Amino acid sequence: MALKHGNKRYCQLLIDEARYSLFEEQAEREGKRVTGFMRDLLYECMDLVIDADLVRKAEEIDDAMWERTVKNRVLGRMKSKRAKAA
């Protein structure tokens, strides 16, 4: 069962040792963390098994949520600075 982690979902994935080492090696070649590399790969492969329009709509929703999160962080910092200055 996936757990909520802010605006994302956290899930565990068990991968066999030899194949995981392939992920590690490729992630290192690309200068990425293994988890980031795996996430990027999963997102790229979604179009192969899920309707592309559905995937694009999900991306748009996720992007909007991320923009809202960043905006809220900026506003929160501005509010904090104003409160400290007062």
Mean pLDDT of 22-51: 95
Instruction: Tell me which long-range contacts 12-18 makes (C-beta under 8 A, separation of at least 24).
Output: 13/38
Residue appearing with tokens 């409160």:
83
Overall pTM > 0.85: no
Where are the domains positioned within the chain? 1-49, 51-86
3-class state of residue 8 by DSSP: strand
Average per-residue pLDDT for the chain: 92
> Under 8 Å CB-to-CB from 55, ≥6 apart: which residues?
46, 47
3-5 and 8-10 beta bridge pairing: antiparallel
Return the H-helix or E-strand segment holding 5: strand 3-5
- Confidence check: pLDDT of 44 > 80: yes
pLDDT of residue 38: 96
